[in-house]
Structure 1
Amino acid sequence: MLLNQQRKTAMARFYTLGNGYILQILAALSASLLEISDGMQYGWSSPVIPILESKNSPVKITSEDSTWLETIFLLAGPLALVITPVLVDKIGRHKTILIISCLSIIGWILIGVGTRVEILYLARFLFGTVSDIIFTTVAMYTSEIADKEIRGFLNGLMYVFLYLGFILIYSLAPSTPFYVPSVVAAGILLLQILTFIPMPESPYFLMKKQRYESAMKSLKRLRSKTNCETEFEKMKNCMEDSEHKSNIKEAIFKKTTLKAFICATILFVAQHFCGLSVILMNLYTILEKAGSIYLDSNTTEILFALLMLVSMITRFTTR
């Protein structure tokens, strides 16, 4: 009962935009726009590969090329495990998000103007790498700038924007020229860059770099108040404890770390072994072969993505 009351109170505070939440919400929304591009690229192969395999294809491909255009996106993901920690710790969360936005625009340009399958391979590999960086960095940035009362809700926006990306690519690709989805995605990314540039860096990153004055300024902007000394000291103490508490081996084999790692691994394996990625990347082909007599495959594909979006919104507004 008490927990439910606390959640209702937090939601009420969120909807009234009180207590300095406005900039936090805007920053999280701006960063999460990257997920629209990510969702469009994740679902890209479903409506686009049938077009590329058709007689009027703008880029001639074989059935083997089709398989690799899907697979290379997933194979590039592990590269992010090496790149992400270096980027977020060396240049910061804010700059990393901006760099990834620029790389994503380059990827969409390659797809939009590409006339050879090798160019599409390059773009898909690039997107496969940045996809995992996006997911990690946006979640990290949002968590570090947000008050605890709305932190979970703001992180949930990532998934809402992700499924919006699926709806966009499923809607645009079958009914517009080949380059149009690239133009739309690049436009969204440009909007993301322009709105995100003035947003503050994570105070946790600034504090980690011992830039305490900048960290305090960032925190005051995010909280929209001048009296942040208490929270600042808590953050500073937490940061110092995490740096001196244990060595790397102890940190890795801590009970809480192992528990989180096991849970994340199980969820990741279950997600892929249940065939989610295969379904999302081949939804049009699956529906086409199923031979529905009530709705065409393109419409059903869009309804499928809409159902995922509604389910996600329902989950985060009723929990």
Structure 2
Amino acid sequence: MTVKTSVTDIFRGTFPQLFAAVSGTLFAISDGMTVGWTAPMIPYLISEESHIKTTRHEAEWLETALLVGAFCGLPTTMFFTERIGRKKSLLLASFIVLFAWLAIALGNNMIYIFVARFFCGIAGNMAFVAAPMYIAEIADQKIRGFLSSIIYLMMLAGCLIVYCIGPFTPFYTAPILGICIALTELLVFSFVPESPYYLLYKNKPEQARKSLEHFRSTVAVDKEMKEISDAIDRQKTEKGRIQDLFIIDSNRKALLIMTVLNAGQNFCGIGVIMMNLHLILSEAGSIYLDEATTGILFAVIMLVSATGASLQLDKYGRKLLLITSAILTGTCLLIIALYFNLKYDGYNVISVSWIPIVSVMLYAVTFKIGLGIVPIVVTAEVFPAKMKAIGMTIADAMYVVWGIIALQVYQWLYMYGLHVSFYLFAVCSYLLAGFTQWYIPETKGKSLEEIQQILKGRKFSEVISAPTA
């Protein structure tokens, strides 16, 4: 009974925030479908039954087109999130992906598919920068962690959907569903207010008050309005230039946190395992699982685990989940490495060939309870208002870059045995746990301005009591 009361207290009066977070991140379902789309569709496209003649080489470029689009979209992401705002950037991303899915559904040539996925990359980059910014700026600090994690849950749901429908339905089914999701966000999210932080930053105090009153429907907003206004005034003294990420100490610390977390996510092996799951199980000599079943099971476990973690972010905090996740993930990777090491050395491991399957599925759980969800929440919290667009965009780019590096390292080490890469990933997981413990501040239950003062090495009470100039 106590737990129920506690949960009720946490979510009381937050429905407008929850509605905005859900409606504003519907795009992520479509984005998850875009990311996972190639897994079930490439076998179809290169088959004799394909309605578009596709070579294996062309099919391999489908993922690259998405990444190239994400990189090319970096300047537009920074421009639009600052110039037109977080809300309109999300709507623009949905508008772009609407036409991209339409091109995929109607295209009769691979050129249309490549161009569509290129623009999906641009839209995905914009949405995954704008959405965490928007949510962090509208959310009550008691549920900010949960709301910030919704976009990641939406993306995992999208992956699961395309894994479920892709192998069993006609080619045009996924694009039609993607179009419907984009249309729903355009129709529903258009009626949600812009972030009060952004409106105050653009010197629109009346609109900012109305926005805050909408999101804090059950409480007075005078005190919070003043806090936000004071925070914006202080943060405006710091120029929003790229070099300020390196010149200003708090920005530099935020950049380091973001860099290590993004590198850590990838060097804990998530991209390698997701893209090479069947190869790993095949080399392990484990029991047979068909590709469709394996993909669905892995996606279900990730979604369930991430959902559970999102509900605990504001209860146990970011650091505890991140450290626990890193240690347990490292242990799973170490067990996999030991198995492949024994197999590589010629030992008979058939009797324990279930170990890789169990370890990989446990990995899906342990990674998603922290490593898979906390970094996107923390990254949205550690940059000041003036630097959010630049910082979040660079964070998004770095995730892609580190993902490519991790894959290249894996492919290079593969010649020395599969176990070598897993030993490296295990060590990186343990190192990330240590970095989190000693360097990353706990942001649970703290305002965005208080987080900035912690990064500056000051107590928030000192800032509040300090006389203003």
TM over 0.5: yes
Query: d(CA) in 2 for partners of 1:229 and 1:210?
Result: 17
Deviation at 1:291, TM superposition (A): 8.4
Q: Could you say which residue in structure 2 is the equivalent of 1:79? A: 72
Query: d(CA) in 1 for partners of 2:285 and 2:271?
Result: 21
1:183 aligns with 2:167: no
1:22 aligns with 2:30: no
Query: d(CA) in 2 for partners of 1:173 and 1:140?
Result: 32
Q: Pick from 278, 289, 292 the counterpart of residue 295 of structure 1.
A: 289
Encode CA deviations 1:56-88: one digit per residue, 9 max, x unaligned.
012111121111111121122222321112111
Q: Could you say which residue in structure 2 is the equivalent of 1:262? A: 256
Q: For 1:28-43, list aligned pairs within 5 A.
A: 28-43=21-36
Query: d(CA) in 2 for partners of 1:239 and 1:34?
Result: 29
Bigger RCO of structures 1 and 2 (CA < 8 A, at least 6 apart):
1
Query: d(CA) in 2 for partners of 1:13 and 1:125?
Result: 44
* Kept in 1: contact 2:23–2:185 (CA 8 A): yes
Secondary structure of 2:73's match? Answer: helix
Q: Could you say which residue in structure 2 is the equivalent of 1:13? A: 9
CA gap of 1:253–1:8, structure 2 versus 1, over 3 A, is farther
Query: d(CA) in 1 for partners of 2:177 and 2:279?
Result: 24
* Kept in 1: contact 2:245–2:252 (CA 8 A): no
CA gap of 1:153–1:274, structure 2 versus 1, over 3 A, is closer
Q: Could you say which residue in structure 1 is the equivalent of 2:370? A: none
1:122 aligns with 2:118: no
Encode CA deviations 1:251-293: one digit per residue, 9 max, x unaligned.
5422322222122223323444555335545657877898875
Residue identity in the other structure for 2:260 = I
Q: Pick from 280, 296, 301 the counterpart of residue 307 of structure 1.
A: 301
Query: d(CA) in 2 for partners of 1:193 and 1:292?
Result: 46
* Worse-superposed segment, 241-250 or 299-308: 241-250
Secondary structure of 1:300's match? Answer: helix
Query: d(CA) in 2 for partners of 1:274 and 1:57?
Result: 36
Query: d(CA) in 2 for partners of 1:208 and 1:182?
Result: 38
Q: Could you say which residue in structure 1 is the equivalent of 2:104? A: 111
Q: Name the % identity.
A: 37
Q: For 1:1-319, list aligned pairs within 5 A.
A: 11-14=7-10, 17-18=11-12, 20-225=13-218, 227-245=220-238, 248=241, 249-250=243-244, 252-273=246-267, 276-277=270-271, 279-280=273-274, 294-318=288-312, 319=316
Unaligned runs of 5+ in 2: 317-469
* Kept in 2: contact 1:252–1:258 (CA 8 A): yes
Residue identity in the other structure for 1:265 = T
Residue identity in the other structure for 2:169 = T
* Worse-superposed segment, 257-266 or 207-216: 257-266
Residue identity in the other structure for 1:277 = G
Deviation at 1:222, TM superposition (A): 1.1
Secondary structure of 1:77's match? Answer: helix
* Worse-superposed segment, 283-292 or 140-149: 283-292
* Kept in 2: contact 1:203–1:216 (CA 8 A): yes
What's the C-alpha RMSD, in Å, of the aligned pairs?
Answer: 2.5
Query: d(CA) in 2 for partners of 1:122 and 1:306?
Result: 30
CA gap of 1:61–1:246, structure 2 versus 1, over 3 A, is closer
Return the index of the structure with the highest Cα Rg.
2
Secondary structure of 1:136's match? Answer: helix
Query: d(CA) in 2 for partners of 1:136 and 1:79?
Result: 14
CA gap of 1:295–1:199, structure 2 versus 1, over 3 A, is same
Secondary structure of 1:60's match? Answer: coil
Deviation at 1:38, TM superposition (A): 0.8
* Worse-superposed segment, 122-131 or 284-293: 284-293
The number of residue pairs the alignment matches comes to 311
Encode CA deviations 1:234-258: one digit per residue, 9 max, x unaligned.
1111001001146744554223222
Query: d(CA) in 2 for partners of 1:151 and 1:309?
Result: 19
Deviation at 1:13, TM superposition (A): 2.2
CA gap of 1:251–1:71, structure 2 versus 1, over 3 A, is closer
CA gap of 1:35–1:10, structure 2 versus 1, over 3 A, is farther
Query: d(CA) in 1 for partners of 2:93 and 2:286?
Result: 40
Deviation at 1:124, TM superposition (A): 1.0
Query: d(CA) in 2 for partners of 1:247 and 1:156?
Result: 26
Residue identity in the other structure for 2:175 = S
Deviation at 1:90, TM superposition (A): 1.0
Residue identity in the other structure for 2:299 = A
Encode CA deviations 1:140-187: one digit per residue, 9 max, x unaligned.
111111111111110111111111001001011110000000111111
| TM norm structure 1 | 0.89
Deviation at 1:8, TM superposition (A): 9.7
Q: Could you say which residue in structure 1 is the equivalent of 2:397? A: none
* Kept in 1: contact 2:70–2:122 (CA 8 A): yes
CA gap of 1:250–1:64, structure 2 versus 1, over 3 A, is closer
Query: d(CA) in 2 for partners of 1:86 and 1:259?
Result: 24
Q: Could you say which residue in structure 1 is the equivalent of 2:346? A: none
